[in-house]
Structure 1
Amino acid sequence: MNLSFFGAAKTVTGSLFLLETEHSTILVDCGMFQGGKAMDEVNYQPFAFDVSKVDAVVLTHAHIDHSGRLPKLIKEGFAGKIVATQATNDLCDIMLKDSAHIQEMEAQWATRKKMRKSEPAVEPLYTQEDAEEVLKLFVSIDFDTKTAVTDNISVNFISSGHMLGSGFAEIFITENGKETKYTFSGDVGNYNQPLLPDPSLLISSDYLILESTYGNRYHDDLQTYRTQLLDIILQTLRRGGNVIIPSFAVGRTQEMLYEINYYKENAMLAEFADVPVFVDSPLAINATEIFKRHYHLSDADTKALLAQGDDPLMFAGLKYSSTTEDSIAINFDTEPKIIISASGMCDAGRIRHHLKNNLWRENSSIVFVGYQAEGSLGRMLLDGAKTVKLFGEDVAVNAKIYDIDAYSGHADLNGLLNVIATMQNRPEKIVLVHGEEDSLINLAAEIKKKFNIRTLIPSYGDILDLSLDKEIIGKWDVEALPTKEEMALSQAAPQPQPVASATLIRGNKDILIAIADLNKKVGNLKQTLSESAHDRIMDYVGIINMILQKENNR
């Protein structure tokens, strides 16, 4: 069996693994690359393999870095089935539609800019129609139920505790009368997290393909980070600021609601017991309803709360913002508040508006509670950026920036090693994926030291046959992924283009002075203008600048 790596190879996003046997071909996951414009461009590249020959996709969970290119797959000719748990299917129904909407909106925005330069329109990566079509191919199977996917491949999902519906995918492949088990971890859940049970134990596997996101870090215990978040909230509210929590709409948002409910139920918010909490993400709102439909998959503590009549995802002061008008109104409300909004890495969604309205405020706090990929706006803020670009404007970073990685849905180093340590029959070889270089190298060293198991770290496009002593048997003809430097450059705030000199543009001196004055006034008014008014004015400024530059070049 040949195993090829088209994502999450020496990087964290874009999970996509191609399994080819003599009789059938399947994918495990088909995720989107994330981490700024450079990674976005990789998503647009055609799949390197023949999509029409893929019989099925096994989907470990619904997160976009694992499912986000499924609509593109069908757009390029895939017609097989997509096998996942019922909860994963339910979440993909909202998440892929939401992703398609984002693709269409970003393409429209880019097209408007192109039209000003008489350049061709930008096509979205995929459309709502593509998302609707791919959802028709989903097939649900239960946890702990071995199910045939093709004539010689079966799958069994074991709860991985990472998010609602997530599972370790045990792939059973029969070749020459022998069955071999390949276990794909997907994302391994963190331990002692709200809502979800801990990852289930794996019994055995011939080969293990293991994620490595936090392969070089340890998380704090629950009470430590629960106290840390509470302290940040109280300190910020007492300064009169807002607490902004960029959060993945599915999973992390619900965990944040669980924690705030805990604070309120135990009278821990002191004078801010009635603080308003806004969930500003239509996707998160829909996902919360799906969580409630699947409470039977929750952990023992959550079930105990429900038995007492306490819904941990509902409390006094919780407000959902469904419409654009609701979202805009939040930033006109001067009362200190908590805002939970997507996307978790700040590369898209309403969170960018809330960052624009709060990053410059010294009394506000931005609290990251999930992994921030290289090249993402979230990573830039964690790395100490002093200014960032949002909606065409340079925004100063004066707010306090916090990172509570213990809320991550990913296991830390101990959790990852525990996956191996608790197996009755450990794998012959382990392949490490879904991690940055430092994490991969550290985890490989720890596995070698503790278990003496051969560990491989494949590169993007590598082809492996794990049954061989020399496992790497080839490489697909694919472009290398962007480097860290290229990702950082693509996400960095572009320097303003110089306006054509007034001495070279006959008759336009007054216009240039007016443009400079308008830029200054817009900057001064940014606190009171609506988002749409501010952005529209900046668009007009850009158009006028472009016209003047073209005249200067004639």
Structure 2
Amino acid sequence: MTLSLAVHGAARTVTGSCLELRAGGSRILLDCGLFQGSRSLEALNYEALAFEPSSIDAVVLSHAHIDHSGLLPRLVAEGFSGTIWCTIETSDLLEFMLADAGRIQEYEAERRNHRRDRAGDELIAPIYTEADALVAWQRARAVPLAEWFEPAPGFRVKLWNAGHILGSASVEVEAGGVRLLYSGDIGPDNKAFHADPDSPTGFDHVICEATYGDRSREQISIEARRRLLETEIVEARARGGNLVIPTFALERTQELLLDISKLSSDDRIGTAAVFVDSPLANRATTVFRKYADQLEDTGGRDVFAHPSIHYVNDVSGSMMLNSTSGAIILAASGMCEAGRIRHHLFYNLPRRESTILFVGFQAEGSLGRVILDGAKRVRISGRDVMVRAQIRRIESYSAHADQAELLAWIEARAPIGGTLFLGHGERGAIDELGKLVTARGLAPSVIVPEIGEVYELNAGAPARRTKTGKPELQEAIGRDWQNNYADLATSLKRRLANIRDARDRQTAIDEMRRVLDSYSAPI
């Protein structure tokens, strides 16, 4: 009985994590995540699944982030009837994470269908609904760390602390005579709330994330991180506008609240009012409170109940923040692709006195990445928005290990008898990490898989590719044509206006029409 690995996502991109393992007649998935980022990448969520959902015996989930769990409702709705195995904390978080994802799917479909620039287009249906999400959550079954369980015949699995977010785990698998470790997302050393990552040594194959494989961050303490945040808050308040922080509802929001409550209690940021404008973040915070006695760095206090923190759930409360100045507004999503953050960006990006502070990874093609890369205009919900606000960034809140920490984690798994697979990263990050792994001799074989590839895994030998990927899927990764269109559309009127001669301006318009018509299919 051999073990095979099929790669269905998070290959040369950081979202859509989904791996399929087959041994004998059993098939399990390691994660089943949503693609996030550009419209082309998100479109992959609508494509036919690469497997029949009813043929999957079980899912082993590394953690509750939507790029790892967000396609579970679709999987269940299309016929999966097995168990979703995960830690108890992940199971608790999934109830809120999946339900919120379902609501977002419904909302985004309705919003896009009502956009003026889509008039006459075919209606978009949500990938799944909130009801689908809750049905999927009910299939979750919690298991403790470091204890063997059998998700399907022929598979033995054990979960290990990954130190990434509450409940996150790396996944050890034994099947077909092969010992394999899937990293999931690896947290950095000395992260707030959680112990450092931990898992065994000596595997035939290791699948490792590479989100920050091309960069090393300055290793700073939590207090040093708080000083950076303090500086940003004080300077933002001095400008008189709002400090808007796009934040991931799960973990990043709670880390920020931990630091803000400490800074506020120590009277280091004045009387700044903090608004957490994310129903999902507010629900996730209740789970953190449930496990407060297990969290590090809180000093045994309920740091989430500080009087300066206000939790906003209803839409009217969110809209009232339009007229606010001098507030700290935390809103999801962290990459600015959906949720209430887009609303706050629409109102605050054009204001010179406002500050937008990024504290998390921004994937290629996402609105957050476009803003962070220096765009002067962006499109939000079909509308052009000038970028006049101060754009700032703090990298020390990352929930991912950096290059040095990833290398240390890989080295600590030694010996690796067969192949190290590098995924969950953009091309540059993966390639740089791969070069360093090879130069240091940390694995006899290093493979950077592509979506759609299948590998045969044997004990103590390099993996053998048995099926190639789909090149057309790689075209969806990274910055897509809709990003480029948004850049062109937001500057087109101004650029035409800069052509002073009216005849030359008309000639330019006519030439653009001729070029577009030359690529159009005949009617």
Same fold per TM (> 0.5)? Answer: yes
Q: Which residue of 1 aligns with 2:382?
A: 392
Deviation at 1:204?
3.2
Q: Does the 8 Å contact 2:242/2:324 carry over to 1? A: no
Q: Deviations over 1:505-528 (max 9, x none)?
A: xxxxxxxxxxxxxxxxxxxxxxxx
Q: Deviations over 1:171-199 (max 9, x none)?
A: 111x3xx3x22111110012222222221
Bigger drift between 100-109 and 189-198 goes to 189-198
Q: Does the 8 Å contact 1:48/1:478 carry over to 2? A: no
Bigger drift between 94-103 and 462-471 goes to 462-471
**Counterpart-to-counterpart distance in 2, 1:116 and 1:400:** 32
1:378 to 2:368 alignment? yes
Gaps of 5+ in 2: 494-523
Q: Which residue of 2 aligns with 1:287?
A: 284
Gaps of 5+ in 1: 500-554
Q: Which residue of 1 aligns with 2:496?
A: none
Q: Deviations over 1:481-518 (max 9, x none)?
A: 3143426636725728999xxxxxxxxxxxxxxxxxxx
Q: Where do 1:179-328 residues align within 5 Å?
A: 180-220=178-218, 221-222=220-221, 223-269=223-269, 272=270, 274-299=271-296, 301-302=297-298, 305-306=299-300, 310-328=301-319
Residues 262, 496 of structure 1: CA spacing in aligned structure 2 closer, same or farther, 3 A cutoff? closer
Residues 82, 483 of structure 1: CA spacing in aligned structure 2 closer, same or farther, 3 A cutoff? closer
Q: Deviations over 1:279-333 (max 9, x none)?
A: 000000000000111224422x33xx11xxx322221211010100110111222
**Counterpart-to-counterpart distance in 2, 1:119 and 1:470:** 45
Q: Does the 8 Å contact 1:161/1:167 carry over to 2? A: yes
Q: Does the 8 Å contact 1:59/1:84 carry over to 2? A: yes
Residues 116, 245 of structure 1: CA spacing in aligned structure 2 closer, same or farther, 3 A cutoff? closer
Residues 155, 386 of structure 1: CA spacing in aligned structure 2 closer, same or farther, 3 A cutoff? same
Q: Which residue of 1 aligns with 2:61?
A: 59
1:431 to 2:421 alignment? yes
Deviation at 1:386?
0.4
Q: Does the 8 Å contact 1:91/1:287 carry over to 2? A: yes
Q: Which residue of 2 aligns with 1:459?
A: 450
TM-score by length of 1: 0.84
Q: Does the 8 Å contact 1:115/1:121 carry over to 2? A: no
Residues 413, 497 of structure 1: CA spacing in aligned structure 2 closer, same or farther, 3 A cutoff? closer
Say which SS state the counterpart of residue 305 (structure 2) adopts: coil
Q: Which residue of 1 aligns with 2:412?
A: 422
Q: Does the 8 Å contact 1:202/1:419 carry over to 2? A: no
Q: Deviations over 1:226-271 (max 9, x none)?
A: 32221111011011121111000000000000111121233322xx
Q: Does the 8 Å contact 2:245/2:330 carry over to 1? A: yes
Say which SS state the counterpart of residue 244 (structure 1) adopts: strand
Seq. identity, %: 37
**Counterpart-to-counterpart distance in 1, 2:290 and 2:356:** 31
Say which SS state the counterpart of residue 381 (structure 1) adopts: helix
1:72 to 2:74 alignment? yes
Say which SS state the counterpart of residue 407 (structure 1) adopts: coil
Q: Which residue of 2 aligns with 1:502?
A: none
Say which SS state the counterpart of residue 396 (structure 2) adopts: helix
The AA in structure 1 aligned to 2:281 is A
Q: Does the 8 Å contact 1:15/1:65 carry over to 2? A: yes
From 46, 49, 52, give the equivalent of 2:51.
49
Q: Which residue of 2 aligns with 1:83?
A: 85
Residues 119, 413 of structure 1: CA spacing in aligned structure 2 closer, same or farther, 3 A cutoff? closer
1:472 to 2:473 alignment? no
Q: Which residue of 2 aligns with 1:531?
A: none
**Counterpart-to-counterpart distance in 1, 2:25 and 2:31:** 20
Say which SS state the counterpart of residue 325 (structure 1) adopts: helix
Q: Does the 8 Å contact 2:418/2:463 carry over to 1? A: no
Deviation at 1:37?
1.2
**Counterpart-to-counterpart distance in 1, 2:118 and 2:237:** 44
From 332, 341, 345, give the equivalent of 1:351.
341
**Counterpart-to-counterpart distance in 1, 2:471 and 2:27:** 19
Q: Which residue of 1 aligns with 2:498?
A: none
**Counterpart-to-counterpart distance in 2, 1:383 and 1:474:** 37
Say which SS state the counterpart of residue 20 (structure 2) adopts: strand
**Counterpart-to-counterpart distance in 1, 2:377 and 2:33:** 30
The AA in structure 2 aligned to 1:262 is K
Deviation at 1:450?
2.3
Deviation at 1:200?
2.0
**Counterpart-to-counterpart distance in 1, 2:320 and 2:73:** 34
State which structure, 1 or 2, has the greater radius of gyration over its C-alpha atoms.
Answer: 1
Q: Does the 8 Å contact 2:18/2:32 carry over to 1? A: yes
Deviation at 1:213?
0.2
